[in-house]
Amino acid sequence: EDAEKRGHQVWMATARRDTADNRDIISKALGRHEDYVGLIFANLKSKLDHCDSIGLKIHIWIDDSPSAIVFGV
């Protein structure tokens, strides 16, 4: 919420496939923040390549598996 107030966008890029089950899992994890976070499914491919392909430039990446940003799963 604070990021949005300061003019930033927050995105969650996941290597997961875009399925109803995965959307439900992520929705529960985001909780009250769901309305402020954009969601991107890379479908097991590189998150970076996928974001580039949809015209989204991510300036700061925070990831528990940094290699998935570039290489996917």
Question: pLDDT tens digit string along 55-69?
Answer: 999 999 999 989 989
Q: What are phi and psi of 38, to 5 degrees?
A: -75, 145
Could you give the angle at the alpha carbon of 13 between the alpha carbons of 15 and 66, nearest 5°?
Answer: 70
Once rounded to an integer, what is the mean pLDDT over residues 6-33? Answer: 94
What per-residue confidence (pLDDT) applies to 1? 64
| Single pTM value for the model | 0.83
Q: What is the overall mean pLDDT for the chain?
A: 93
H helices of the chain, where? 2-5, 20-30, 47-53, 67-71
Once rounded to an integer, what is the mean pLDDT over residues 41-67? Answer: 95
